[in-house]
Amino acid sequence: MFGGAKSWAERSIKPKLCRVCDEEFQPSCGGNIYCDKCAPEARRKLHRETQKEWRNKNPERHAVTKANFDLKKFGLTFNDYNRLFENQNGACAICKTTNPKGRGKTRTLAVDHCHKSGKIRALLCNSCNGALGMVKDNVQILKDMINYLEKHK
């Protein structure tokens, strides 16, 4: 070989202990610290932790990134979203709140849509959007809930 370099077959990479299961494994390269069985979950866990750390440090950027992802699901652009937002005066279409925070996170108004037709209806706060989702957009359940609340005033 060139200049005394070893071929791949001649190289010997020492067995290592997996940092998760403590089983000995033969790494495919010298940098592996997890066996093939534990590596996927260990990488997912590390990714979740680093993502959570980034979201905590950058809540506004995370909200925009998440909103952009959500908009793509509905075939909307930021301009489309902003048009809806302006038409609603920046408030939830149901409860009229302008503060759509949920669980201590920075939030934008959610894009509400019909699950059957896929048609965009309006922008809702997290609470109103969740409430509609819980009753599966069933008008009769909502009427029954109103009757229940009026009966138990």
User: pLDDT digit string (tens) for 34-71?
Assistant: 888 999 999 999 999 999 999 999 988 887 887 788 78
- Decide: pTM greater than 0.95: no
Phi-psi region of 73 (alpha: psi -120 to 50; beta: other; left: phi over 0): alpha
**pLDDT band at residue 106, thresholds of 50, 70 and 90?**
low
Tokens 């503060």 correspond to 99
Looking at residue 49, its pLDDT comes to 94
- Beta-bridge partner residues of 113: 120
**Structural domains in the chain?**
12-57 (no CATH), 76-151 (3.40.1800.10)
Q: Are 30 and 14 in contact (CB under 8 A)?
A: no
Is the dihedral angle over the CA atoms 34, 37, 38, 39 positive or is it negative?
positive
